[in-house]
Structure 1
Amino acid sequence: MTAASTPAIAPAPALLTAVFEAASEAMVLCATADDTVVLANEAARSLLPGMQPGGPVAAPLPADGADSFQTEHEGRRLYGMRRPVGDGHYAWYLRDRTESAALELERSRTAFLAEAGRRLSASLHVRRCVRTTVELAAAHLADAAMVVLPPHRRHSEWVRLLPGLPAEEGTLREPTLGEVPGLIEALGGFPPIPSRWLDPAQAPAWLVPAGFGPVGALLVIPLPGNAEPAGALILARCGPSAVFSTEDETLARMFAARAGAAISAATLYREQVDTAAVLQADLLPPELPQTDGFELSGSYQASSDALRVGGDFYDVFAPAGAGADTVIALGDVCGTGPEAAVLTGKVRQTLRALCLVRTEPAAMLTVLNEALLQSARQPRFVTMVVGSVRRTDHGRVRLDLASGGHPAPLVLRTDGRVEEVPTSGTLIGVLPRTVVRPATVELAPGELCLLYSDGLTEARGGPSGTEQFGEARLHQALAECRGMPGAATVDRIRQLVADWVRGGNSDDIAMLAVRAPSRTPLSLRGGGAPTPSPYVAAARRADRRPRNRS
């Protein structure tokens, strides 16, 4: 028998009904003529209990001939597709998307919290963190968001934002905070008051900008901080039917915890920066005083850009009375960073106290050695040069110098020779008894004495990147500065070292130059132009050289 001659076997109606009932997908078969329900399987009847065979098509199924719908029905999220079935009938295929919608909502909330954490942790600036908080809250949680910071000097700063509008800022007097329901409690760190307990009608007019409309729902949440609240978050929704659901309040509290932590961290960072700035201002090299009879020039460069102070330092103590010498000091504390900076401050304060009793430089180092041995919690030593400077009756500058384990100062003579000052001594803060061999040097007009730290000669760079700048290069560089002012000499040496290092790491570098002012002889008796220094003359010759204008 051929396939063409095989008779078609039609399934019995009872079999089709059984298959229809056994389907896992909810299906409703309807008549096209009068929109009545012909069949509804068990899955459909569980979703829509009122949908029975013989009855009319009722909500949530649309009766306008739509091909699909998506709606909320008795707490469930339903989706349906309409398909024609033969002549005179059509079927609705229904799906329950309640769980998938809840999962999608949870995913969106998780994504929001992740974005909030990322954006809030991107900055340690208080105002920027507050701005980010109101931006996120206004975009995801409410129609308007406002952050109020804790009172400071009886005023509180606030930032408010509505989507699509620029942020507004201002301050509130402390008595005004009580006009917002729950705000005092939130700023005090108390648990948030549920929104259903807050009367939006009690919100003051200044809480939202003009044109916002009536506040339909209000939520005030504390921003938890580090040991104390970081502020309060105020959320408002517009319209008489606006509400905050339990899920909304839970999400808002989770967001507030992240925002409060970010604002608290930024506030703590600002306090630390302000404290560090105050401490650094006292530890940085001083502004050099104007002295009568000699020039002072200094330069300091810390090893770290993040910390402006370190282990190297210089200081100048102006005379407290008539006839007193100016005291100069340059030293290098063991180590770098904050610990070295703290010890630097102790050394400078000790020297300042010794200057008040006009102690000689060698005696200063002896007393300082005893002070460090008695106060140090761990072995710390200092190398330094201390000197007294004064102008002599013969127009020269005299320096009495004492060194404690520090590189010897260099003297630049008028003929370009570079000499080491013959002073030496033991490290300060190591041995019970320090040995100091002081020396005296006189500077003729135009001559210069340079005190420097070993970070200058030990700076590594050059062609290999590891070679030290060294004493020989320092002597040569100093000799080339013959005739230059003290400030220009210090700047040139600093630039040469920077070029040698070429942006690499180096230790702290400190320099202090003492220069006897040059005499200004006249070329003709009774008048005429003063003879320029070799440095000025060289600069003028360079200006007269032809320049490449290509």
Structure 2
Amino acid sequence: MDERPCPDRLLAAAGTALTGSLNQRRILRTVVELVVAEVADAAVAVGPGDGQQVDCARLAHGGRAATFQAYRTDLDAVPGLAQVCGGLDPPFGQSVPAATTPAWLWPPEFRPAGELVLVAMPLAVGVGAALILARGPGRPPFRDEERAMLRTFGVQAGQALTAAALYREQGEAMAVLKAELLPLPLPEIQGVEVAGAVRPAEEGLRIGGDFFDVFPPAGDPARSVVVLGDVTGKGAPAAVLTGKVRQSLRALQLVEQRPTELLRVLNDALLQSGDGDGHRFVTMVVGAMRPSGHNSAPLELTLATGGHPPPLVLRSDGTVTEVAVAGALIGVTKNLRMRPATVELAPGEMCLLYSDGLTEARGGPAERQQYGDRRLRQALGSCRGMPAGATVDRLQQLSSEWVGEGEHDDVALLVIRALPVGAPA
């Protein structure tokens, strides 16, 4: 057994073993497996905790696999452990009397003897982790060259744990960003049925530059605001600008519900903040909904666009028409010119707001042809008599079938359907 420790093999194995994972618990297991295989009779790796709980991986020589457990414990129970887990480096080769360690620290089948070695695994994110190594009764103490090697090994392990911590932080930050960019729950608005969906280009990221929002009546008690937009780019950069635009609109619509004015104020805000620089811009359609006052066409919808595809209207006879609106890109030029339009919807009729990722999606038999305006109109026409939610589902299904396994841009859809006077949302 005296011939088993081999420090040189430990550093050679650590180079590849510790870089194979970005999971903190898996790294802690790997750490104890490496040192028990080459240097120690037992080892405990204590990961960075949250101040109340620490992660511990334990293994004794002869054990089948490292066990893992999260403890709510006092780190001061092991001399020097609290300082190391707080990011401080212990004195070189610091030893800990085996008798001072608590019973929970070691695997049940192992009891340490003599002096233990406490090794720091420093992280570059302000905290630290620790490795405690022990040898059993009758075994020689750790030599100075072994302690020096373990210090180097601790630095390697700390680098792997740092990468795992940064990866976790990135994931947490992305989760917060995704939550901010998810469409808000659609409000219930008297006389209107609304449904929408967003399909990002990067399915793994689940965020993108297309968005929609529906705001209930605010400043004008009879008028609700709907928005659908498309920010240039894909992935996280587009998502950040999307978040800024949506937050701005949420505030603006509280005091202004006219679509043209909302677009003008947003355009000025983007230009002044530097977010609109000619290379990063937004296309958008904004609509204001209000009761028309007569039963034959109870919903009046005023629309304005900024460089966005014109909305489509599905009439009760199945015909599909394009709303005659036009406008310049948002965030490019100060003199924003727009041509708004107002349409009235009879009960069952609907208006579709969509992003160009839908019509520009390539697929079909040759996998290179765009879905196009004609197919979209045919697809919308086939939704006559459907509820708003079913219409969104059908349009998504047809476009997905067209694209198949190919790549696509971000896609956003919003359907506004008029209900009979007095009907609930």
TM (norm. structure 1) is: 0.70
Deviation at 1:227, TM superposition (A): 5.0
- The equivalent of 2:285 in structure 1 is 385
Identity %: 50
Check whether the contact 2:302–2:340 (CA below 8 A) recurs between aligned residues: yes
Match of 2:69 in 1: 169
- Provide, for residues 97-156 of structure 1, a one-character-per-residue CA deviation record: whole Å limited to 9, x for no partner: xxxx9xxx99x7555434333232222122222222223233333222112234523443
Structure possessing the higher relative contact order (Cα contacts under 8 Å, 6 or more residues apart) = 2
Decide which of 370, 385, 410 is 1:483's aligned counterpart. Answer: 385
- 1:94-493 aligned at under 5 Å gives the runs 109=7, 111-162=9-60, 163-164=63-64, 167-173=67-73, 176-187=74-85, 188-194=87-93, 197-226=95-124, 228-320=126-218, 323-376=221-274, 378-379=277-278, 380-395=280-295, 396-493=298-395
CA distance in 1, matches of 2:92, 2:54: 21
Q: Deviations over 1:241-295 (max 9, x none)?
A: 4411233323322322222111111111111211121122112222212222111
For residues 335 and 124 of structure 1, what CA distance do their matches in structure 2 show? 29
Structure 1 distance, partners of 2:123, 2:12, is 19
- Structure-2 change in CA distance of 1:214 and 1:353 (3 Å): closer
**Structure 2, unaligned stretches of length 5 or more?**
none
Q: Report how far residue 214 of structure 1 moved.
A: 4.3
Give, in whole Å, the separation in 2 of the partners of 1:293 and 1:239.
82
| 1:388 partner SS | strand
SS at match of 1:356: coil
5+ residue gaps, structure 1: 1-71, 73-100, 521-550
CA contact 1:138–1:161 (8 Å) conserved in 2: yes
What is the RMSD computed on CA atoms of the aligned residues? 2.5
Aligned length: 414
Q: Higher Cα Rg: structure 1 or 2?
A: 1
Moved more, 183-192 or 487-496: 183-192
- Distance change in 2, residues 1:356/1:322 (3 Å): closer
> Cα–Cα, structure 1 residues 484 and 114, in superposed 2: closer, same or farther, change >3 Å?
farther
Q: Does structure 2 retain, via aligned residues, the 8 Å contact 1:298–1:490?
A: yes
- The answer (yes or no) to whether the contact 1:157–1:172 under 8 Å persists in 2 is no
TM alignment of 1:71-86, pairs within 5 A: none
Partner deviation per Cα, 1:186-207 (whole Å, 9 max, x = no partner): 3343245426x54333333333
- Residues 343/230 of structure 1: CA separation in 2 closer, same or farther (3 Å cut): same
Distance in 2 between residues matched to 1:293 and 1:419, nearest whole Å:
22
CA distance in 1 between partners of 2:404 and 2:414 (Å): 23
Quickly say closer, same or farther: Cα 1:504–1:114, change in 2 above 3 A.
farther
1:298–1:510 contact (8 Å) kept in structure 2: yes
Per-residue CA deviation, residues 470-518 of structure 1 (Å, 9 max, x unaligned), is: 0011111111111111111111111111111111111110010001136
Name the amino acid aligned to 1:146. V
